[in-house]
Amino acid sequence: MVRSRLTLQTIDLHCGGEPLRLITTGYPPVPHVSILERRRWVRDNADHVRRVAMYEPRGHRDMYGAVLFPPFRSDADVAVLFMHNEGYSTMCGHGTIALATALVEEGLFPGVEPETMIRFETPAGLVIARGVTRRRDGGGLEVTEVRFTNVPSYLAAQDLEVRPDGLPLAGEATDRGSLRVDLAFGGAYYGVVDASDLGLRVEPSAVEALTRAGAAITDLLRRDHVPEHPTDPDLSFVYGTIIIDHEPGTSPDGPLPDADMRNVTIFAEAEVDRSPCGSGTSALLARAAARGWMSPGDEIVNASITRACFKGRVEGETTLGSQPAFVTSVAGTAYLTGHSTLVADERDELGEGFLLR
């Protein structure tokens, strides 16, 4: 018998290739307080569970996870805390799509046809997911698509001039001697840059160069351009960088004629999002609306480095505190990949997890 200091049971899914490991049992009791307070408590008191579930040898640098709690807000069905290689996200779009899928298909939430609504209490605010459902031959429900309405999103800064040391520039950025970066919020703050200014295309063979560039830009933004969230200081940090390829129809690994753009998001500690990034897509929608490139009702198809696509839509205008903002929604699909029992043997010196690279 394994002498375990920790045993976790999980449901594993992917959304656009990006993993979501949902911890279902084995998580320690957490105080029944708001999700932001839970986020702080977990970071200080239960971070070893994140490392066991996310890190090697059971996970990897790009693993992503979540744990659910009873809601604190009266208007929510469930509270969620997202986790990754560095800590705990404030919002996650691919995770919301995967969670809604898992909850309905695994019978953990009462699903109904033709649509099931689940209201998630996230650290960034209330996120409402609507899963399109249909009856399987065996009697259970399956989810064919999830669209979530995100927290209010907005353009925080535009045309920031940055020059990360050692990062090659291309095109107009070479003439300027700097990168132009927008900073946009979609539940988390992202720098937004054009791949052409880096001399790169968003496609799998360029992932190492894209990761280096995204991490370098994120580090510089975190140092010199710290955002101020309108209502919650805990959200006032740069989460990652979105690198956009505006010509998906000529992608080197094959054209994506139905996509309006292709992106890769580098977040946390140089983690690579395989999906088109849901909160990032909201940030891009708010950026486009603020710049006058989109209007309420307009839609885009955003492709990822894996060629998976999210559909994004500007739903309308709103405010976030006193900040003018936009209501956005994002749609995608997720699929179950397995059920796991993870064990940390009390004799194992590496059992709490490590990251080699």
Considering the domain boundaries, does residue 351 fall inside one?
A: no
Q: What percent of the chain lies above the pLDDT cut of 70?
A: 99
Our count of domains for the chain comes to: 2
| C-alpha to C-alpha distance for 298 and 289, rounded to whole angstroms | 9
In this prediction, residue 75 carries a pLDDT of: 98
**178 close to 162: Cβ distance less than 8 angstroms:** yes
> Is the pLDDT score of 3 beyond 90?
no
Name the residue range of residue 247's domain: 154-329
- Write out the two tokens for 137: 């031959």
Same domain for 128 and 226, yes or no, is: no
Angle in degrees, CA 256, 259, 263, rounded to 5: 90
Same domain for 175 and 201, yes or no, is: yes
Average pLDDT over residues 329-351: 96
In this prediction, residue 310 carries a pLDDT of: 98
Q: Predicted confidence band at 2 (pLDDT cuts at 50, 70, 90)? A: low
The set of residues, in sequence order, having a beta carbon less than 8 Å from that of 60 and lying 6+ positions away, is: none
pLDDT single digits (tens) 281-311: 999 999 999 999 999 999 999 999 999 999 9
Considering the domain boundaries, does residue 349 fall inside one?
A: no
Average pLDDT over residues 48-63: 97
- Write out the two tokens for 153: 């999103």
Same domain for 134 and 178, yes or no, is: no
Better pLDDT: 147 or 136:
147
> Is the pLDDT score of 139 beyond 90?
no
Classify the C-alpha dihedral 191-195-196-198 as positive or negative.
positive
| C-alpha to C-alpha distance for 281 and 122, rounded to whole angstroms | 17
Same domain for 159 and 94, yes or no, is: no
Q: What percent of the chain lies above the pLDDT cut of 90?
A: 95
Residue that has been written with the tokens 């290689």 in this structure = 85
Same domain for 181 and 78, yes or no, is: no
Distances (CA, A) of 207 to 36, 132, 167: 33, 33, 15
Considering the domain boundaries, does residue 63 fall inside one?
A: yes
- Write out the two tokens for 279: 């909160």
Q: Which of 15, 92, 277, 309 is catalytic?
A: 92
Lowest mean pLDDT among 2-16, 105-119, 130-144, 171-185: 2-16
In this prediction, residue 4 carries a pLDDT of: 66
Same domain for 60 and 79, yes or no, is: yes
Considering the domain boundaries, does residue 356 fall inside one?
A: no
pLDDT single digits (tens) 223-261: 999 999 999 999 999 999 999 999 999 999 999 999 999
Same domain for 145 and 175, yes or no, is: no
Same domain for 276 and 188, yes or no, is: yes
Write down the pTM of the prediction.
0.97
Same domain for 187 and 320, yes or no, is: yes
We report the CATH number of the domain holding residue 142 as 3.10.310.10
Same domain for 28 and 59, yes or no, is: yes
Considering the domain boundaries, does residue 348 fall inside one?
A: no
Residue 277 is a catalytic residue? no
Considering the domain boundaries, does residue 353 fall inside one?
A: no
Same domain for 108 and 174, yes or no, is: no
Better pLDDT: 93 or 2:
93
Type of residue at 198: L
Same domain for 75 and 175, yes or no, is: no
Q: Predicted confidence band at 32 (pLDDT cuts at 50, 70, 90)? A: very high
Dihedrals φ, ψ of 212, to 5°?
A: -60, -45
Q: Predicted confidence band at 137 (pLDDT cuts at 50, 70, 90)? A: confident
Q: What Rg, from alpha-carbon coordinates, does the chain have?
A: 20
User: DSSP 3-state assignment of 233?
Assistant: helix
Considering the domain boundaries, does residue 199 fall inside one?
A: yes
Q: Predicted confidence band at 126 (pLDDT cuts at 50, 70, 90)? A: very high
Nearest partner of 83 among 91, 75, 72, judged by Cα: 91
Mean pLDDT of the chain: 96
Considering the domain boundaries, does residue 238 fall inside one?
A: yes
In this prediction, residue 314 carries a pLDDT of: 98
- Write out the two tokens for 357: 């690279």
